[in-house]
Amino acid sequence: MPRKTWTLTDVAADVYLDQISIGSEDLGGAAEGYSVTKRTLRGGLRDGVDIVEVDNGQLWFTVVPTRGMGIWGAVCGDVHLGWSSPVDGPVNPAFVPLWEPSGIGWLSGFDEMLVRCGLESNGAPEFRPDGTLQWPLHGKIANTSANQVEVTIDGDSGEIAVRGVVEEARLFGSKLRMVSTISTKVGQPWLTVTDEITNLSSEPGELELLYHINFGLPLVSQGAGVIVPIKKMAPSDAVAAADIDRWNVYDPETPGKPEACFFFDPAADASGQTRALLRSADGNQGVSVKFNKQQLPCFTLWKNRQAAADGYVTGLEPAINYPNRRSFEKEKGRVATLAPGESRRFEVTIEAHPDPDAVAVAERAVASIQGSITPKICRTPDPEWSAT
């Protein structure tokens, strides 16, 4: 069986490939029409950023090892996944002022379709009593480069996997390793992110993790909708509460309108599987985010309603906690503890729906999960979920 692994980066072995292009002709086997290309971007804020472009014949996407194995964007036929950020990325982490005093320097590098928030912290910035920054917005993992990257392709099954190792570690601090595998299959409209996070320390470690998965124009526009199977939902604050009757519908671009977040306890099937569906205004296109509630029990819907120039975008965000300040989440028991050497595994699938029939299938899948469960919709923030 033709199966091969290419090492793109291995810091410990002093291996680094500046560029490589791999196709079916390089491996043989039954699978055809795919390619994997690695290159290094030059110029501006992207200077020195490594990207791995995967084309499985139906779905094209870009992995960014330099930015914590995030996924910059994806295209499936006419379905464009991702968004247009005011930030012209992907930005080299060297240019992201993560620890600027405001606590929101993270936003200077934010433009991916999928970006992880964590690992030590992942929510709103938090400050010490003297006003100094303790936890920056959304944590550090997205601005930490992988120290190992490899690509594995199975020429017969058509399975393609990009694997990266990212370590968020320091002396007198947490020591967490994330091994991320982003996989797909030739001719399929999906990709799956599988992350295994291990505590490398001889002492217990703490973990927060949120998958910030973002979509914008043209998929999201006035009249687009989102469908989530719900056990319970609540607005995150007063701004979201004012729009509670339109939480699942997207308004037009509105300059100056504040962002809104809605927190969910999603319904799931007997094995814990659940999904959220984003559907275009005409119902002809969509995308699903699929995950397991036993791994990722919390879900946040983020809506940024500003003009396109300012980042018109929505986020579908499965997580182990809600994106509040870290001390609040720890008080509520949503900061995970990993014993020395303990690992946890997380899996998220993004599946494009390029036509009305595929959208309808996804709608039925969400309806099946909802089943006979009556959703509890809170009209005001839940004090167990919101720090405001």
Q: Quickly state the pLDDT bin for 1 (edges 50, 70, 90).
A: low
Q: Is 360 exposed, middle or buried (0-12, 13-18, 19+ CB in 10 A)?
A: middle
Averaged pLDDT, 241-247: 97
> Residue 89: is its pLDDT beyond 70?
yes
Q: Measure the CA–CA gap between 105 and 201, rounded to whole angstroms.
A: 28
- Sorting pLDDT into bands at 50, 70 and 90, what band is 315? very high
Cα(153)–Cα(186) distance, integer angstroms: 10
CA of 116: how far to CAs of 106, 249, 364, in Å? 12, 25, 29
Strand-strand pairing, 376-377 and 230-235: parallel
The helix (H) or strand (E) run that includes residue 368 is: helix 356-370
For the residues 159-179, what does the mean pLDDT come to? 96
Flag whether pLDDT at 198 surpasses 70: yes
- CB-CB neighbours of 78 under 10 Å: 11
- Predicted confidence (pLDDT) per residue in 256-273, tens digit: 999 999 999 999 999 999
Give the pLDDT band of residue 68 (cuts 50, 70, 90): very high
| pLDDT tens per residue across span 357-369 | 999 999 999 999 9
For 84, the token pair is 């247009």
The per-residue pLDDT for 388 is 75
Average pLDDT of 97-120?
Answer: 97
Residues 6+ apart with CB under 8 A from 4: 27, 152, 153, 155
Give the sign of the dihedral formed by CA 196, CA 200, CA 204, CA 209.
Answer: negative
Model pTM greater than 0.95?
Answer: yes
Q: Hunting for tokens 């018109």 — which residue is that? A: 312
Please report the pLDDT score of residue 383 as a whole number: 97
pLDDT in tens, 11-24: 999 999 999 999 99
The overall average pLDDT reported for the chain is: 97
Whether residue 67 contacts residue 50, with contact meaning beta carbons closer than 8 Å, is answered with no
Mean pLDDT in residue range 304-312: 95
Q: Give the DSSP H/E element, type plus range, for residue 230.
A: strand 230-235
Domains and CATH numbers, the chain: 3-377 (2.70.98.10)
**Cα of 145 vs its chain's centroid, Å:** 16
pLDDT in tens, 128-146: 999 999 999 999 999 999 9
For the segment 284-305, the average pLDDT, to the nearest whole number, is 98
